[in-house]
Amino acid sequence: MKKIALWGLSLLFTLGALAQETKTAKEVKKVTTEQTEKDKKAAEKKKKAVDKKVADAKKDHDKKVKEAKDEISKAKKETDEKISKAKKELKSNSASDKGEAKSAAGKAKAEANKAEAKAKTETKTKATETKTKVKKTVAEENEDLKETAISKAAEKKVTDKVTGEYKGKKVYTGPRGGKYYINKNGNKTYID
C-alpha cells in the first residue's frame, strides 16, 4: 500500500513540474501575439487605403460618365435645332431651295451623328481608364503580399543572386538569366 501511495505522489509531482510553462515559452507567445497584432493593424491600414482609392476611382468614373452624357444631350439638342431649321427652309417653294435645305438637313444630321459617336467613344475610353486603375481587389492584394513560413524557408535555400523587388518580394536571377521570385507556397514564379 505504501508503494502505491508513494508512486501516486511522485506521479502528481512530476505532472505538476511538467505542466509549468518556462519563461522563454511565455516570452515567445507574447512576441508572436504582438507580431500578429501589428500585422493585423498594418493589413487594416492597407485595406482602408485601397478602399479609399476604389471609392475615389468610382467617383471619378461616375463624374466622367455624367459629363459624357451631358455632351451627348447637348449634341442631340443642336442637331434637333439644325434639323428644325432645315425643315423650315424646306417649306419654301423653289426646287433649288428645297434641295439646299435637304442637303443642309443631311449635313446637320451627319454632324450630329459624328458628335454623338465621338461622345460615346470618349465615355467608353474614360470608363476603361477608371477600370484599369483599380485592377485587383483588396483580397487579391493581401493574398499576394502574404509570406508564409514555407516561402521564407524557400528563400533561404535559394543560392541565386538577388537583383531587385517585384510585388514586395525579392527577385532572383537564375544561372541562365531567368528572373523569378518565391511565391507564398515556396515555389518559383518566373517574371517576363
Note whether 89 and 16 are same-domain residues.
yes
Note whether 134 and 157 are same-domain residues.
no
Note whether 112 and 166 are same-domain residues.
no
Nearest-angstrom CA–CA distance, 37 and 31: 10
Cα–Cα separations (whole angstroms), residue 9 to 12, 13, 150: 5, 6, 45
* Residue with the three cell numbers 484599369: 132
Note whether 91 and 115 are same-domain residues.
yes
> How many domains does one find in the chain?
2
Instruction: Say which residue, 143 or 181, is predicted with more confidence.
Output: 181
Note whether 174 and 132 are same-domain residues.
no
Note whether 83 and 44 are same-domain residues.
yes
User: Domain residues for 31?
Assistant: 2-140
Note whether 87 and 135 are same-domain residues.
yes
Which residues touch 46 (CB under 8 Å, ≥6 apart)?
138, 141, 142, 145
pLDDT higher than threshold 80 for residue 17: no
Q: Model confidence over 31-82: pLDDT tens digits?
A: 888 888 888 998 899 999 989 988 898 898 889 888 888 988 888 888 888 8
Note whether 167 and 130 are same-domain residues.
no
**Least confident segment among 109-113, 147-151, 187-191:** 147-151
Nearest-angstrom CA–CA distance, 191 and 163: 12
What is the grid cell recorded at 57? Answer: 476611382
Note whether 158 and 126 are same-domain residues.
no
pTM: 0.34
Note whether 170 and 105 are same-domain residues.
no
Strand partners, 170: 165
